[in-house]
Structure 1
Amino acid sequence: MPGLTVSEKIFNKKPDNFMKEHITQLLIQQYTNSYKTETSATIVAFNFYSDHALIITSNKEGEIYLYRKMEYESMFSDSLSTSLNNNKDFLPTHWKRWLEESQFDLVRKEFSQALNFNRLTASYNENDEMFYWNWKAHKNICFRMNNSYVFDAIVT
């Protein structure tokens, strides 16, 4: 039915068992089909879509205790833009051109597509508590993500 929406009032109240069951099923399904990275205490599941990411966290026993939707705009900080400009030699040619023309939105769009199509693989470094996303096609490009799930720099 076109124009069908869900009232916010439904979500402002404590969900009943029916809602809890379906939300639980959706979270488990999303978690199961996600890209996961293990830290010392948790497993973080990343799901990337056209305009946002869904990040689901579970403990080692497999209990999901947190989920978060993030818009791509909030995942790409000014520090990442600065780092891209400072490390142009490592970037694909078209990225260099976009950055010179102040087209950071095009870089962000291609970056988010790379995440969406699993062109990047993540690892977690216990020492600095950061995620590192390596670009499969460009071995010299590694993007650092902090614990707030914001990409903040290129690491070479």
Structure 2
Amino acid sequence: MLELTVSEKVFNERPDNFIKEHITHLLIQQYNNSYKTETSNAVVAFNFFSDHALIITCSKEGEIYLYQQMEYESMLPESLSKSLDFHIDLLPVHWKKWLEESQFDLVRKEFSQALNFNRLSASYNNFDKMFYWNWKGHKNICFRMNHSYVFEAIVT
């Protein structure tokens, strides 16, 4: 079966209220079904899927003004593995093995599944303008995400 896509040309050539209404409806639906955390001037909504995240930013007055799709490859960079190595004693046993065998892709896959199945909960720190994701099943594991929605490090 052919995987269908929509050409950008459809949106650029003829701005259409029908299309605008449907995109608006989809964004509102995704926002309402998302994991949200409040920052100093907005509410950021996270939707995690099998291979990407949809991040929607909404003003405190209720207007969605930004959305972006991010691949997990960019959200979970190889540099994160260095931080995990530094805090290896906090990690689950199978993660330690994967890191020792340089199989960061397996760690990345399990990390993305944890996000996808809502096993991590976010908070936002106004002081350093960072998101912190606490792993619900592992009380001592917290991942720091920068304002560009890239996971930088594990923190204690």
TM-score bracket, shorter-length normalisation: over 0.9
Query: How many corresponding residue pairs?
Result: 155
RMSD: 1.1
Distance between the aligned counterparts of 1:93 and 1:12, measured in 2? 51
Shift of 1:9: 1.7
Matched residue, 2:42: 42
Matched residue, 1:128: 128
Distance between the aligned counterparts of 2:95 and 2:154, measured in 1? 13
Q: Is the 8 A contact 1:121 1:135 kept in 2?
A: yes
Q: How high is the TM-score relative to the length of structure 2? A: 0.96
Shift of 1:14: 5.2
Identity of aligned residues (%): 78
Distance between the aligned counterparts of 1:51 and 1:57, measured in 2? 20
Distance between the aligned counterparts of 1:51 and 1:147, measured in 2? 20
Shift of 1:6: 2.8
Distance between the aligned counterparts of 1:127 and 1:79, measured in 2? 24
Shift of 1:11: 3.0
Q: Is the 8 A contact 2:78 2:104 kept in 1?
A: no
Distance between the aligned counterparts of 2:39 and 2:23, measured in 1? 25
Shift of 1:7: 3.0
Matched residue, 1:77: 77
Matched residue, 1:102: 102
Distance between the aligned counterparts of 2:5 and 2:119, measured in 1? 34
Q: Cα distance 1:64–1:71, how it changes in 2: closer, same or farther (>3 A)?
A: same
Gaps of 5+ in 1: none
Q: Is the 8 A contact 1:78 1:152 kept in 2?
A: no
Partner SS for 1:153: strand
Q: How does 1:24-39 map to 2 (within 5 A)?
A: 24-39=24-39
1:70-128 per-residue CA deviation (whole Å, 9 max, x = no partner) reads: 00000012331110011100000000000000000000000000000000000000000
Q: How high is the TM-score relative to the length of structure 1? A: 0.96
Shift of 1:140: 0.4
Q: Cα distance 1:59–1:104, how it changes in 2: closer, same or farther (>3 A)?
A: same
Q: Which amino acid aligns with 2:16?
A: D
Distance between the aligned counterparts of 2:85 and 2:126, measured in 1? 27
Q: Is the 8 A contact 2:43 2:58 kept in 1?
A: yes
